[in-house]
Chain A
Amino acid sequence: MSIFIDHATRLVVQGITGRDGSFHAKQMMAYGTKVVAGVTPGKGGQRFEDTVPVFNTVAEAVHETKANAAVIYVPAAVAASAIFEAADAGLGLIVCITEGIPVLDMTRALPYVHERGGRLIGPNCPGLISPGRSKVGIIPGNICEPGKIGVVSRSGTLTYEIIHQLSTNGLGQSTCVGIGGDPLIGTNFVHCLTAFEADPETAAIVMIGEIGGTDEQQAAEFVKESVKKPVVGFIAGQTAPPGRRMGHAGAIISGSSGTAAEKMTALANAGISVMKRPADVVPLLKERL
C-alpha cells in the first residue's frame, strides 16, 4: 500500500499544454502514472502526445475519463482558480505544484476544497510519489526505490537529497510527500503522519521540516500521543536570521517564534530521533528499525 496515491490513481493534468505541465506530464507517463486527461481552456479536443485527451474544463475531463485526482501546473495568477475548479469537479485529491499563489487567495481556496471533501497537497510543493506505482508531481522517479520508509517534507530538493541517501543505502520508500513551503497548505505533517501510521506497508517515517510556523511542533505532539512507528526528523534553517523569508514564503522566523532550535527540541521531546545533518538519516533509521 501507499498513502494518497496508488495504481488506482487516475490523473488529470491541469495546464498540460504549458511548458512545465507538458514536460512533467511526459515524465509522469514514463513513470507509469495513469495520466487519463489534460485540461487547457481552448484546447479541448486535442490529444497530448497523441494519446491523452485534452478538455476545456476539469468537469468535462472527470465526466469523460473518470479521473479521480488532479495535478496543477498553471501559473500563479490562475492557480487558485484551478484549485477551485478541481474541487468543484469533485476530485478527492488535488496536488498543486505552482509556487507564488497569494496567501489571501488560499484563505478562500482551502475552505472551498475542504467543504467538498477534497484533499489539497501544496501549493508550492513537489507533489508525491509512491515508488514503482505512481508519481504525481515533479519528484525525480530515478532517485526513488520501493520500500518501507514514509517521507514527508516541506521542501523540494532537500527531500531529493534525503531520498537519495535512503535509496543508495538500501532503504526504499512507501510514499514520499512534499507538502509545500507556503504558509497556508492543504495537507500538513499531522495528516501525513496519520496516513503513514495507518499504512501497513510503512515501517518508519522521516519528517523534514524547516523554520516558520508551528506545524512541526503540532506534529511532535501528535507523534507523542498517536504514532507508534519510529520517526526520524530534520529541521532546516538552524543558521537562518530572524525576520527574513528564506526562499519559501513560509520559512520565516517571526520574532522569536518558529526557530529551528525550538522545533528540534519539540521533536526530541516527543521521542523523534533528530538529525543534525541530512546524512544522519540512514544511521538514525537503522538504529530505530
Chain B
Amino acid sequence: MNLHEYQARDILRRHGIPVPPGEVASTPAEAGAIAARFGGRVVVKAQVHAGGRGKAGGVKLAKTAAEAEAHAKAILGMTIKGLTVQKVLIAPTVEIASESYVGIMVDRASQRPVLMVSPAGGIDIEEVAAKTPDKIHRLAIDPRYGLLQHQALALGFQLYSDVKQARAAADIMQKLYTAVYAVGASLAEINPLVTTPDGTVQALDAKIAIDDSELERRPEIAALRDVSAEAAAEVAAREAGLTFIKLEGDVGCCVNGAGLAMATMDLVKYYGGDPANFLDIGGSSNPQKVVAALRIITGDPNVKSILFNIFGGITRGDDVANGIVQATKAFPLKVPIVIRLTGTNEKEGIAILERAGFAAVSDMDDAVKQAVAKAKGKAA
C-alpha cells in the first residue's frame, strides 16, 4: 500500500525527523486559506500515487494565497497517469542549498533492510543507479542491532563534509530506520533531503510504501488507505479476498494461484490473444469468491470471452462449479465462457457444470485456444 506524501511526512515528523511545515487541502478555498497562513509563498503539490507529478503539471509554485488557490483549482481533479487528484499539499517554499537522497528498502538478495544514500538527490534514484552507480552508497543493516551510530555517520559524511550536517543526516537515517519497523514499511525514501542556506538539514519530500502483510496488525496504518486513489474494481476485488489487476486485453481470466494465473495470461498471449486481467481466486475458494470474481470480470466492457483455469489442490472443483452456476443465475453472461477444471473434486465439478448446461475442458492449452478464438468472435 502506497502512502501519500503528506501521510509519509506525518510519519517522519512523528519519528522526530525535521520536516518543513505543510498541510493538506481538498478544495481550492482550503488551499488558499492554508497558503495565507503560510504567508502566500507556497508550493502546491498533487497528492497522487504516481511518479512524475512535476512533469505532469501537478506541482506549482505560488507567490500569493490567491495564486495558490488558483493552482489548487487547476490541480484538483486533474488526471495523472490515470489517477484523479483529490488532495493537494500546501507547504511554504524552502530555500535549498543542496539536495540528497536517503532511502531504506528490504533487499531480497541480502535478505536485510538496506540503507541507500546519494548526494545526487531530487531525481529518480533508479536513474542515478543506472547512470552513475558510484554516486550511491549502500549499507545492509543487521536487524539484530539496527542502524549503528558510526555506520550512519559514515554515510552522513558521504553526503556532507560539514560534521554538523553529517551528524544531522546520520540522526535522520537512524530515525528513518526506526520508522520503517514501526510502521511496517517495505520502502521509505526521503527525496530530496535538503540543506538550507542557514545550514539545517530537512526532509522535503517523502515516499513510504507499507507491506500489505503488515496492515492486519496495524489498523492505524491501514486507516491511511485512500481508496479514491485506486481503481474501483481492484478495491472491490480486495474486499472480496481476491487479487485482481486490470490489463488492456479482452480475454477475462479467472485462475486459482498466482503462478498459474500469470502462466495463463502468458498462454493467452502465446495463442495470439490478449488477457483482460490478472485474477487469483486464492486457495480455499468458496462459491461466493467465484461469484465476486465473475462480477468483477463482467464489469469490464472490454471483455469478449471469459476463461476459467482451475487446478484443484486446496481449491475444490465443485466449489468453483457451484460459484459459476450461482453467478450466472444472478447475472446472465453476455459473453462466451470457457472452463478448464482439473484436480480435486474434478468429476463432481464437471457434473454440476453439465447439469447447468456448461461444458468443461481438462487441458489448459485447449481451454486457452478456445477462449482466444471466442474473444475474436470465431467458433473454436
Contacts and interface: CB of A to CB of B under 8 A. Distances in A.
Q: Do A and B come from one complex?
A: yes
Interface of A: 20, 76-77, 100-104, 106-108, 110-111, 126, 138-140, 143, 153-161, 164, 181, 183-184, 208, 210-211, 213-215, 234, 236-241, 244-251, 255, 260, 276-279
Contacts of A156: 257-260, 283, 313
A110 B106 CA distance: 13
A106 B111 CA distance: 8
Nearest to A214: B109
Contacts of B268: 239
Interface of B: 106, 108-109, 111-113, 126, 142-144, 180-181, 184, 186, 211-214, 216-217, 243, 245, 247, 255-263, 265-270, 275, 278, 280, 283-284, 311-315, 342-344, 364-365
Contacts of A208: 259
Q: How would you classify the secondary structure of chain B's contact residues: helix, strand, loop or mixed?
A: mixed
B365 A160 contact: no
A102 B365 contact: no
30 contacts: A20-B284, A102-B213, A103-B211, A103-B213, A104-B181, A104-B211, A107-B143, A138-B314, A140-B313, A155-B257, A156-B258, A157-B256, A158-B262, A160-B311, A160-B343, A161-B260, A164-B311, A164-B343, A181-B259, A184-B108, A239-B266, A240-B278, A245-B243, A246-B243, A247-B258, A247-B259, A249-B212, A250-B108, A251-B262, A277-B263
B108 A101 contact: no
- A-B pairs with lowest CB-CB distance, top 9: A155-B259, A247-B258, A157-B257, A158-B259, A236-B262, A157-B260, A247-B280, A237-B262, A158-B260
Q: How would you classify the secondary structure of chain A's contact residues: helix, strand, loop or mixed?
A: loop
A236 B270 CA distance: 12
Contact of A164 (B259, B262, B266, B342): B342
Contacts of B212: 245, 249
Contacts of B313: 126, 138-140, 156-157, 160
Contacts of A139: 313
A180 to B, nearest CB: 11
Contacts of A184: 106, 108, 111
Contacts of A238: 266, 269
Contact of A249 (B112, B213, B261, B284): B213
Given A110-B111, A157-B257, A277-B267, 6 more contacts: A104-B180, A156-B258, A239-B265, A240-B262, A249-B213, A277-B263
Contacts of A101: 213
